[in-house]
Chain A
Amino acid sequence: MHELSLVTSIIEISEAKAREHRAASIRTIKLRLGEFASVVRDALLFSFEVARRGTLAEHATLEIEDVPLVTRCRSCGSAARQTDDICLVCPGCGLPLEIISGEELQVEYIELD
């Protein structure tokens, strides 16, 4: 359960940006969250409710864009969406697959009032 410390960072990053623009409050925080980032979306949203109190994000919405885990074989080039039973070995070539997306954990933008 490291979502609370992650949410604290999300708010700090967002507040720093808002302060650069002398904003009094943040309306929206947009986060990109990869499936392969080991972060639980619901726990993140719950932690946000607690952590935003007394910050510029007190009345903000945390919008989360889920980024799927997509892999590609460097050898044969085949790309695939990985879901439940993750296998990072190419079924065709037997070589390790490259992760193209799914590890994101990034504040994309904020919206100010």
Chain B
Amino acid sequence: MNRLAVQTGVLQANQEKAAENRALFDQEKLLAINLMSSPGSGKTSILESTIRALKGCYQIGVIEGDLQTSLDADRIRALGVPSHQINTGTVCHLDARMIARALEEFPIGGLDLLFIENVGNLICPSSYYLGEDLRVVVCSVVEGADKPKKYPVMFNKADAVVLNKMDLIEDSGADLQTLIRNVQEVSPQARIFALSCRTGEGMEGWLHWLRQKMESRAPAASAKAGG
């Protein structure tokens, strides 16, 4: 019998493709953010509020991932921002190859900020690096304070965790303190923003963080959009 050492990461091909995506993002000096959450936590609504607040400062683009429909891309386009819909069919996550194919059709030249809204799922998307600069996980407060503990890998890889639907906190009886503690325990490095994109409560902290990331990424970005 013949044993051959392989020692190859199962996701290596994805990592290599993601590195190519990242090189394209870097070439354009844009900041790419991979936005992940369970279905219905409000990713697209947060994007809408964020775009309304920042589109005067930055050129923003959005790649949307869903199993079916172009409803999300249509919502983004209605705000006057370019968007591209990826339909994954039955696949429960975006991978780097899907993004590479999208980039062939979706021009990113001139963009400062690219959001990639992943398929709603707290498990599989965490395994697939897309070439993003930052990972943001959205969790609505009504989903239950235990979610970070049940899906620790997803939260652990986040640079920021947005706790959405704060407007429902009292009516739902959600336990914000426990939720925040659970996020901190599985993701001690992540910045946490509790907000409601519907009422605007708490949005300023999130927007400030994004502006800071934009400044450290591409100092000329705001000047480009302004001029």
Contact = CB atoms under 8 A, between A and B. Distances in A.
Interface of A: 1-2, 5-6, 9-10, 12-14, 17-18, 21, 23, 27, 31, 36-39, 85-89, 95-97, 105-113
B153 A36 contact: yes
Given A36-B153, A86-B149, A105 B1 contact: no
Contacts of A113: 1-2
B223 interface: no
A76 to B, nearest CB: 15
Contact of B9 (A12, A17, A88, A105): A105
B3 A86 contact: no
Contacts of A37: 127, 153
Interface of B: 1-14, 91-93, 95, 123-124, 126-128, 149, 152-154, 156, 184-189
The 7 A-B residue pairs with the shortest CB-CB distance in the complex, in nearest-first order = A96-B188, A2-B124, A87-B185, A112-B2, A38-B153, A107-B6, A86-B152
Nearest to A82: B152
B13 A9 contact: yes
Contact of A111 (B3, B153, B156): B3
A108 B11 contact: no
A13 B6 contact: yes
A89 B185 contact: yes
Given A1-B124, A87-B186, A13 B10 contact: yes
Given A86-B152, A109-B3, 7 more contacts: A5-B95, A14-B6, A21-B4, A38-B127, A86-B186, A106-B7, A109-B5
A109 B7 CA distance: 6
